[in-house]
Amino acid sequence: MTVFLVGAGPGSLDLLTVKARDLIQKADCALVDALASDDIVSLINPNAEIIDVGKNPKKHRYSQDEINELLVEKAKQYECIVRIKGGDPFIFGRGGEEQFYLTSKGIKCEVVPGISSAFAAPAYAGIPVTHRDVAPILTVATGHEQGEVDQVDWLALGASNSPLIILMGVANRAHISSKLMEGGRSPLEPVAVITNATRENQQVKITYLEELADLEIVSPSVIVVGEIVEKQVPWFEPKALSGCRVVVARPIGRTSVLGAMLREAGASVLEVSPTICQTIEKPVPKIEQDCVLFTSTQGVDSFLENLHREGKDWRYLYGKKIFAIGKATGAHLTEHGCNIEAIAHESNSRGCVKLVKEQGMKSVFLVRPKESREVIASELKVSGIEVKEYIVYETVAHPINEVVQRRINEANFIVCAAGSTIRALSEFGKFSCVTIRAETTKVAREYGWNVLGQANETSITSLYESVVEVWGK
């Protein structure tokens, strides 16, 4: 058993270290700080126990002593425990206290450094905190202190002209700025306040020291005091989805291409796994139809699984034409060594019928999931095409941790590519959503969800475009 104190960086998924990412993905248990972004929470092993130990202003779910005890308790239950801490564990993150307590109890503890917001925030604001012309020395201080007596000598820092970076200083900024000026800092010394640094909704406000107390700011913010602020060269620009918090559901074990696209456009993405795809174990029958039609990547995997269970491979389909619904399914077949004849670019019944007819097929062996795609078989039959259905997998609900549940409720909307997502998440409430197709929209409305938009075409690209359009409104 090992407890890893993992620095999650300032928030952006791109700034997470490789080691941190790997540990988060394989952890049996995760204790999560409030500052851990949705994107990082999305990486947590969906089968892991997740515990929210975040400390928001005036609202602590657990005291530090309770967190220490909790780490010891979980270390006795699991092999790999990650304590996900914003920034760096040892820079005002109480990592030292936790490490000391764990080792005193005989529990192995490793530290995974993270990028501190003390350095990331000014960098993303375009402020070089060291500069050979004006800043050969750098001071980092906490604005959140224990008790009524200052632990930081603000008067001494006021007598200095070196750049000063203050973390967790929003609530105490009036006192801090007053003491700095009393110590000798000019009331007109430039100050930068970087809120939600590195994240999609980052904001930078420039002011003077004497005006800091009255500036409207919220946590989490990093305060930079000093002439170095005048060296700012802004470079971080908002994107199409900046400020947008979305939920993307995907079955366990599946990579979300959509999630990556949304993040690239500036969204904060919480990926959840409310369902799991299970192969229905059964023999692959003799295929007498003209062609085999795959409706999903999971269908490909489950079909192969059943083939391999019988000691067979793609040669079993020799002489049959292989069709796929959608580019992703087609690419998946190709990656697994199957030569495909054609792809239905419209991932719906109309596209399937069109493809089969254009190819001159009279009969179809349809590989599909248990709970959907019945409409495809129906439309093919109505068009005079013989259909043999091979139901190869089913989608079942997978429990969602209460920490993730809370974050789902905080999102702007959910992006839905399947009705099974809506059915599974409806347990936790009624949500706003953007859907991929008419069938999904129908399910959403049946469950009382607010449908904000629907993709023009049944594709990930079109779904992404619909999300951008909805957010733009």
Residues found in the chain: 473
Q: What backbone phi and psi angles, to 5 degrees, belong to 227?
A: -60, -20
Coil, strand, or helix at residue 213? helix
Query: What is the rounded distance in angstroms from the CA atom of residue 89 to the CA atom of residue 93?
Result: 5
Q: 93 CB contacts (<8 Å, ≥6 apart)?
A: 7, 85, 86, 87
Nearest partner of 86 among 177, 165, 10, 197, judged by Cα: 10
385, 403 Cβ separation under 8 angstroms: no
DSSP single-letter state for residue 285: P
Measure the CA–CA gap between 285 and 312, rounded to whole angstroms.
12
Nearest residue to 89 (alpha-carbon basis) of 119, 120, 56, 116? 116
Which of the 8 DSSP states describes residue 87?
Answer: B
**Which is the catalytic residue, given 14, 19, 28, 33?**
33
State whether residue 194 is helix, strand or coil.
strand
Beta strands in 238-348 (DSSP E): 245-249, 268-272, 275-279, 291-294, 321-325, 342-344
Please give the torsion angle defined by the CA atoms of residues 423, 425, 431 and 433, in that order, rounded to the nearest 10 degrees: -70
HEC string of 64-84 equals: HHHHHHHHHHHHCCCCEEEEE
Q: Point out the catalytic residue in the list 19, 28, 55, 327.
A: 55
> For the residues of 164-229, what is the DSSP string, one character each?
EEEES-STTHHHHHHHHHHHT--TT-EEEEEESTTSTT-EEEEEEGGGGGGS---SSEEEEESGGG
Tell me, yes or no, if 33 is annotated catalytic. Answer: yes
| Rounded Cα–Cα distance for residues 163 and 128 (Å) | 10
DSSP 14: G
Pairing of strands 221-225, 190-195: antiparallel
Contact present, 110 and 80 (Cβ < 8 Å): no
User: Do you find a cis peptide bond into 220, omega within 30 degrees of 0?
Assistant: yes
Q: Which residue from 325, 369, 380, 376 is spatially nearest to 347, judged by alpha carbons? A: 325
Q: Cα separation of 49 and 300, whole Å?
A: 31
Give yes or no: 214 in active site.
no
Structure tokens at 356: 């089969």
Residues 6+ apart with CB under 8 A from 251: 273, 275, 276, 277, 298, 395
Catalytic residues: 33, 55
